[in-house]
Amino acid sequence: EDGYDLWLRYRPLEQAAQARVQSQARSVVLPGAPSPTSQAALDELHKALTGMLGRAPAPSARISDGALLLATPARLQELGAAASPLRAELSALGNDGYLLRQTRIQNHNVTLIAANTDIGLLYGAYAWLRDANTGAKLEASSAPTLQLRLLNHWDNLDRTVERGYAGQSIWDWWALPDIKDQRYTDYARANASLGINGTVLNNVNSKPEVLTAPFIAKAAAVADVLRPYGIKVYLSARFSTPLELKETSTADPLSPEVRAWWQRKADEIYKSIPDFGGFLVKANSEGQPGPQDYHRTHADGANMLAAALAPHKGIVMWRAFVYAPKGTHLNDDRAKQAYDEFKPLDGQFAANVLVQVKNGAIDFQPREPFHPLFGAMQKTPLMMEFQITKEYLGFSTDMAYLGTLFEETLETDTKTAPQGRTVAQTLSGIAGVANIGSDRNWAGSHFDQANWYAYGRMAWNPQAKARDVAVEWAALTFGPRTVTPVVDMMMMSRETVVNYMTPLGLHHIMGTGHHHGPAPWVDNLERPDWNPVYYHRASRDGIGFDRTAKGSNALEQYAPEIARQFSDPKTTPPQFLLWFHHLPWNYAMPSGRTLWAELLAHYDQGLADAKSLRARWVALKPLIDPRRYSEEEQRLNRQVANATLWRDACVAYFQSVSGLPLPAGVQPPAHPLDYYKSLSYPYAPGRG
């Protein structure tokens, strides 16, 4: 067990489970000639059943008792099962949905996987296998609510990965298009097993070369591998590409020359990749070029690209993560900028543009309140952008199961409709910044595989519960006997990180550039809002960022009900307290402690829980295979050290600012503040 097989391990089942699965899959029947997609379903079932049962199922063209039957409506009709109530049920399941049913067809008891399309059959096959493995009930139907379920790779053409902690890029651009690594197929299988149906191959900080003929050919080769699995390829486009390639004299989106160039480029791409998905664009943000360079709006820029893609049914995903090194909001609140720039453009985007919004208004912090654009842009389709790779949550060394973060965000009521409207309900699509690399275990650590898994499962069903998803993943990954303790670890892990890094709504106090270790003292960076002191605003008189009407008034960007609730510290959820309020150190918390004592208690809790995670894993040693056990044990040791560092450095720093003594029982930091300030992290991974 080295983790390569992810949650598709297909190890021999225990006896009772074997008998159950065997009785449902004596043979596998797919009437008619298979397409590449239904062939992929057959191949997966064959591989899985061979692994789980120890022998291959009989391939068969005829239905007999105990057959596992895969069929679309046309095939059901030929089998004389068209009139069944299944038909109506199927028609409600759309292109991607499937149903699993024990039923009788042609006088035989069969297990039916039915779907309207071959891709639905593939999804159904994976669902059936999930159930077969975990012993879940086999009477299900399912269809996704979001049609766009994407991964975003922040992968560079030289195979470095921005914010990647799992080795090099999976895409070997140099070897492509001639050499197509087996990993691409396994990547496709893993994604299809979750229902992920699109992938942006390259970094949002994009290079012009990716749109040149050689790279289009490379992307086409990847697209060919992913196509049978229902995964479309997309590219991140650099706004100034034609200018930088010296093929136009400007990149102004309203220039006819520029528009014609992009039209030709789109036509060229679709010649090689007929089902190309479209472009993802980061513009006028962190130094990236964009339409504002020509005094045009984001809508002008997005619509120009959209026009080029529209004839081919492609889309533009235009990111709302905007702020420029020298731009607006320099002396205001960075949290407000995306809303301020995008809300006025609501209704101005072309029909094939989606605005892609990070889950929170700052930047993938361990915890953020939901982004105020969700629910606010009602005339523009929005996509959620989550970060699966853990840039701000301890990379792939610290354990943090993000299912809880995804759930917390998706289920929040934006209060933008009379009956309520959750963040999930405001979405038309979803994207996750991938944590996948060339590491043998794909994600840098075994537990980080769970974040890829949870993202995919929750992209399919944004109402899914993080715990249920964790139960599935744990059963598939470590086997049925460890599920409860493993899930308990996962469920506490992200709060643990929040507590030892950024409790009570603190944010962005990580070290410059690498974002790994603590650096709440940093105050000397060029842009004010790159500095941790800008975000925590701690001084003798208190701590926190006042985003109420007395402060930056970022609260005004939320629905009135939320703005009202959060404008009073007493009714602000404690986990967001210092996100919205600047409060005196002696502010009385609901616990009865002062804010100062509460802050310290959270840091201590984070460290205690990191130790508890390690102890729980150690207790599982007899039940986990040696390699995976040891790889995680080493990481959990490292996490305890990291939690200690965070806790001690933050206690030392905030004490130096508050000037307050440590309450009785609180351990002083191991070193003086200067020691923590002197630490550096040369060659930290993930800078791309």
What residues make contact with ligand BDP under the rule CB under 6 A?
162-163, 204-205, 282, 286, 321, 363-364, 391
CA distances from 123 to 22, 424, 449, 661, 678 (A): 20, 22, 19, 58, 52
**Is the CB of residue 166 less than 8 Å from the CB of residue 448?**
yes
- The least CB distance from residue 502 to ligand BDP, in Å, is 15
Which amino acid is present at 95? N
- Which residues are bridge partners to 68 per DSSP? 28, 111
> Which CB, 455 or 473, lies closer to ligand BDP?
455
- The least CB distance from residue 298 to ligand BDP, in Å, is 15
User: What do you get for the CA distance between the two ends of the chain, in Å?
Assistant: 30
- The least CB distance from residue 329 to ligand BDP, in Å, is 16
Catalytically annotated residue among 247, 286, 332, 604: 286
**Is the CB of residue 598 less than 8 Å from the CB of residue 573?**
no
Which residues, at least 6 apart from 79, have a Cβ–Cβ distance to it below 8 Å?
31, 63, 71, 105, 106
> Which CB, 67 or 320, lies closer to ligand BDP?
320
The residue number whose beta carbon is nearest to ligand BDP equals 363
CA 41 to chain centre: 25
- The least CB distance from residue 202 to ligand BDP, in Å, is 12
Which amino acid is present at 138? L
Q: Cα(611)–Cα(636) distance, rounded to whole angstroms? A: 8
**Is the CB of residue 437 less than 8 Å from the CB of residue 427?**
no
- The least CB distance from residue 360 to ligand BDP, in Å, is 11
- Give yes or no: 247 in active site: no
- Give yes or no: 2 in active site: no
Catalytically annotated residue among 391, 472, 529, 546: 391
Helix axes 446-460, 466-478, angle to 10 degrees: 130
> Which CB, 389 or 425, lies closer to ligand BDP?
389
Q: How many CB atoms lie within 10 A of CB 75?
A: 18
- Candidates 238, 235, 303; CA nearest to 270 is 235
- The least CB distance from residue 364 to ligand BDP, in Å, is 5
Q: Cα(383)–Cα(403) distance, rounded to whole angstroms? A: 18
Catalytically annotated residue among 155, 363, 398, 648: 363
Which residues, at least 6 apart from 318, have a Cβ–Cβ distance to it below 8 Å?
281, 283, 298, 301, 302, 349, 353, 354, 355, 356
- Candidates 351, 294, 283, 354; CA nearest to 321 is 283
Tokens 């974002």 belong to residue: 515
- Give yes or no: 341 in active site: no
> Which CB, 163 or 635, lies closer to ligand BDP?
163
- The least CB distance from residue 530 to ligand BDP, in Å, is 10
674 phi, psi to nearest 5 deg: -60, -30
- The least CB distance from residue 231 to ligand BDP, in Å, is 22
Following DSSP, what letter does each residue of 384-424 receive, concatenated? Answer: EEEE-S-TTTTTTTS---THHHHHHHHT-B---STT--BTG
Burial of 674 (0-12, 13-18, 19+ CB in 10 A): exposed
- The least CB distance from residue 187 to ligand BDP, in Å, is 22
Q: Cα(534)–Cα(325) distance, rounded to whole angstroms? A: 15
Which amino acid is present at 169? S
> Which CB, 323 or 473, lies closer to ligand BDP?
323
> Which CB, 155 or 598, lies closer to ligand BDP?
155
Helix axes 182-194, 36-53, angle to 10 degrees: 90
> Which CB, 189 or 358, lies closer to ligand BDP?
358
> Which CB, 341 or 391, lies closer to ligand BDP?
391
> Which CB, 357 or 607, lies closer to ligand BDP?
357
Active site residues: 286, 363, 391
